[in-house]
Amino acid sequence: MLEQDKLPHGFALLLCISLGSLLSGIAVSEIPLGSKLSVGESTSWVSSNGDFAIGFYNFPDQPKQFSVGIRFNSKSVPVNKQTVVWVAGGDVTVGNNSYFQLQENGELVLFDALQGEEVWTSKTSQLSVALAVLREDGNLVLLNENRDVIWQSFDSPTDTLLPGQRLSTFRTLRAASQNYVSSLYSLYMNVSGQLQLKWESSIIYWGAGRPSHSNLSAVLTSDGSLQLVAPNLERFWSVFGEDHNDTVRFRFLRLDVDGNLRLYSWMEVSQTWRSVWQAVENQCNVFATCDQQGICAFNASGSHVCTCPFHHAVQSNSKCLVSSQHDCKPGSIMVEHANMFLYGIYPVHDFISRTSLDKCKSMCLSDPSCTAVTFTNDGSAKCRMMKTQYVSGYSDPSLSATSFVKRCSDPLAADPIFPLKSPPQAHKEPYNICIPCLVGAASGTIFVFIVIQLGMGFYLYKRKNNYRRLASLAHSRPGSKCLIMLSFTEIKELTGNFNDQIGPKMFKGALPDKQPVAVKELEGTIEARKFRAAVSKVGSIYHKGLAKLEGYCCEFNHRYLVYEYAENGSLEKYIENPTLAERLTWRKRMDISINVGRAIFYLHTECREFLCHGNLECENVVLDENFEAKVKEFGLGMLYGEASSRRASAQKDVEDFGKMVLTLVSGFKEVKDVLDWAYKEWMEGHPENVVDKRLKNEVDAEELECALRITFWCLQADERVKPSMGEVVKVLEGTLPADPPPPPFSCLISAREVEDTSESGSEV
């Protein structure tokens, strides 16, 4: 097994904890309301046994960025081995003078002094919290006067499970972020009782348990085993570490940054954390373990390494990308790589068929968009075709697979160069030459020539530089993590001087390779620092239901976002146009609802840090060439200071989603005008009357019932009964039943009246 020094980079969290913080940490049995931890004061709250502490920490490479986390604090563990096991808000960081406080209203709040806003809360202000306790097992709990647990850190894990901590259904562990980019690796407990390791949200590369049991939880035991147990503690699956039943004081289970799940034990003798079990024995079997760094293989010492075997690959910023030059004048060839299995990432959708090896090669050669294929010759005769530059995989001499990577053929020969013949010598005759005239003419000619050359050189340099930058954007395919910064001049070149407007402040453009993009103009008054921070966060997110942000412009008073282009435009125009509405069949409308719901659910829970849309409506949902829905302009609330109200932002997305589903069902854009009527028709047993009259007799009655029920639940005025986006998606998918909803509108009216009354009172 791997020792501490051999673990992936970033595993050992070398915390910058000063000696003062170690001395100032006080073991307290209770943390009263009003207690505060501050960055500048180097204090911490410590469990009564001294084994765990919660406080601010940072990393050597980020000296001015701080997080709040629970870490090991035992004196038997050296400071540089005191691993963090829970982080408030996941990847949330704050600046100097920030604080973490248990407020008088019972809510834990992380306040960033740099942004001047709350960046994370426990959302417990209305739950009668009386005190907090950091328990001896590392669990931070909020209790009421009766000592009942109101909230606990064990229910919102980050990347680690401690002994006794459960990972219940729909809960997720996510690997720590790297280079400010959220990890795509997660550990997920699904509703069927299976524990799964995922990449992005669709690729499952490891699983445990059988899909026949529901309501199971994963739990790490103190004796060193990982188990799947029922609520009555009946065990359905288990795995044991090498030191199972040995006397080990500290253990933890972590999803590491390399995508592997490992169980660690503290070795007192060697003073190191040692891996005693890992889910995927062969690291090369972890999906995209090399990401954009090439192919996974094992060296002579048995360690896995990432290599780039594509000799004609595109090398960009240390990335290993296969060629995407589809227009090869001399033609294309397929370069063979034996014992190698390849697959596409960004996006992950490969095309698989059953055929022969020769046919597999020829299909790729004849398809201009194909970049590589893998033929599995283990009897399955599967041909996997990739249509992306971003290709990963693994290589092993025992592997029964052969891959072929397409590249342009080299020119057959160069044009021969013949020696130039000397011109015939003219017959020389004496002339009378005006030397001053000749010198003057020559000087003037040389001066003019130099000026012209300098001017042309400068012009060509600018053109070439702009082209190179635009070409770099052209290679940023959907799903890539590249985010290109553009000048305003380049934005004008992309859009043809904004001559093709496709929506409010939205313009169609094209990259040098003719790939279309959509360019969104934003207010030029947005602060540059806030704008760059927001687009950096949004640009690192990839999901097939989200429109990919390709680049941006932040120059002087110009603010633009460059998105991938959706061929069929916005959903809004299909709702408003009677002719186009007929193309939105009932099946397509339900698929759009589910896809949009999954995308919002991804923003709320699958990203390392919670992100809301804030303005979900039909205008911000676009349809690609296959009528697949993609959500655009998500996360822009950060630009306008709306991200501080996180408690309400998720509920607003849920409410906006409910309105959108009702629009898809009824065909009415302004649903507030038909809300009461739609609920009345449903209550009286006539849900079919709510359906868009432009739809033919194709409506599925069961799907209609589910759609209306979840819509009315989403529109409940009482936030306490609104569903989460995860529950919404499950209902639409048919895997979770929905009870009949109460009338939400009388509550909505009373809430509005209360709000109006409070506003009037404040004005008085």
| Residue spans in the chain of domains classed CATH 3.30.200.20 | 483-565
Residue 754: partners with Cβ closer than 8 Å, 6 or more residues away: none
More confident residue, 421 or 470: 470
Helix axes 725-733, 646-666, angle to 10 degrees: 30
Q: Considering the chain, what is the average pLDDT of its residues?
A: 81
319 pLDDT band (50/70/90 cuts)?
confident
Distance (Å) of CA 243 to CA 36, 78, 261, 643 = 40, 22, 17, 46
Mean pLDDT of 543-563: 89
Under DSSP, the state recorded for 530 is H
pLDDT digits (tens, 9 = 90+) for 506-534: 999 987 767 899 999 988 888 887 888 88
Tell me the three state secondary structure of residue 205: strand
Maximum Cα–Cα distance across the chain: 120
For residue 750, pLDDT over 80 is answered with no
411 pLDDT band (50/70/90 cuts)?
very low
End-to-end CA, the chain:
71
pLDDT score for 593: 95
pLDDT score for 7: 39
Mean pLDDT of 553-557: 87
Alpha-carbon distance 667 to 674, whole Å?
10
Find the helix or strand (DSSP H, E) in which 225 lies.
Answer: strand 225-229
For residue 14, pLDDT over 80 is answered with no
More confident residue, 16 or 662: 662
For residue 756, pLDDT over 50 is answered with no
pLDDT score for 106: 95
Tokens describing residue 398: 């025992």
pLDDT score for 757: 35
pLDDT score for 614: 84
Classify domain 571-748 at the CATH topology level.
Transferase(Phosphotransferase); domain 1 (1.10.510)
Alpha-carbon distance 599 to 657, whole Å?
11
For residue 477, pLDDT over 50 is answered with no
For residue 364, pLDDT over 70 is answered with yes
pLDDT score for 430: 43
| Residue spans in the chain of domains classed CATH 3.50.4.10 | 332-408
Alpha-carbon distance 680 to 667, whole Å?
17
pLDDT score for 42: 75
Q: Is 239 exposed, middle or buried (0-12, 13-18, 19+ CB in 10 A)?
A: middle
Percent of the chain with pLDDT over 90: 44
Mean pLDDT of 400-421: 61
Alpha-carbon torsion 567, 570, 576, 582, what sign? Answer: positive
Yes or no: domain 25-156 corresponds to CATH 3.40.50.150: no
Alpha-carbon distance 262 to 12, whole Å?
14
CB 387 within 8 A of CB 368: no
pLDDT digits (tens, 9 = 90+) for 324-354: 765 677 788 899 999 999 999 887 878 899 8
CATH code, residues 332-408: 3.50.4.10
Mean pLDDT of 120-144: 95
Tokens describing residue 70: 């629970």
CB 114 within 8 A of CB 105: no
| Residue spans in the chain of domains classed CATH 1.10.510.10 | 571-748
Alpha-carbon torsion 14, 19, 24, 29, what sign? Answer: positive
Mean pLDDT of 190-207: 88
For residue 57, pLDDT over 50 is answered with yes
Alpha-carbon distance 46 to 71, whole Å?
10
CB 38 within 8 A of CB 110: no
pLDDT score for 534: 84
For residue 323, pLDDT over 90 is answered with no
Distance (Å) of CA 330 to CA 276, 408, 412, 610 = 55, 7, 8, 50
Under DSSP, the state recorded for 94 is B
In degrees rounded to 5, what are phi and psi of residue 45?
-100, 130
For residue 429, pLDDT over 60 is answered with no
Mean pLDDT of 710-736: 87
| Residue spans in the chain of domains classed CATH 2.90.10.10 | 25-156, 158-280
Yes or no: domain 483-565 corresponds to CATH 3.30.200.20: yes
For residue 143, pLDDT over 60 is answered with yes
551 pLDDT band (50/70/90 cuts)?
confident
Tokens describing residue 393: 């995989």
pLDDT digits (tens, 9 = 90+) for 672-693: 878 889 999 998 889 999 999 9
Tokens describing residue 665: 């069902």
For residue 469, pLDDT over 70 is answered with no
pLDDT digits (tens, 9 = 90+) for 249-293: 999 999 999 999 999 999 999 999 999 999 999 999 999 999 888
For residue 24, pLDDT over 60 is answered with no
More confident residue, 428 or 204: 204
CATH code, residues 158-280: 2.90.10.10
More confident residue, 275 or 21: 275
Q: List beta partners, residue 623.
A: 629
In degrees rounded to 5, what are phi and psi of residue 214?
-115, 165
For residue 753, pLDDT over 50 is answered with no
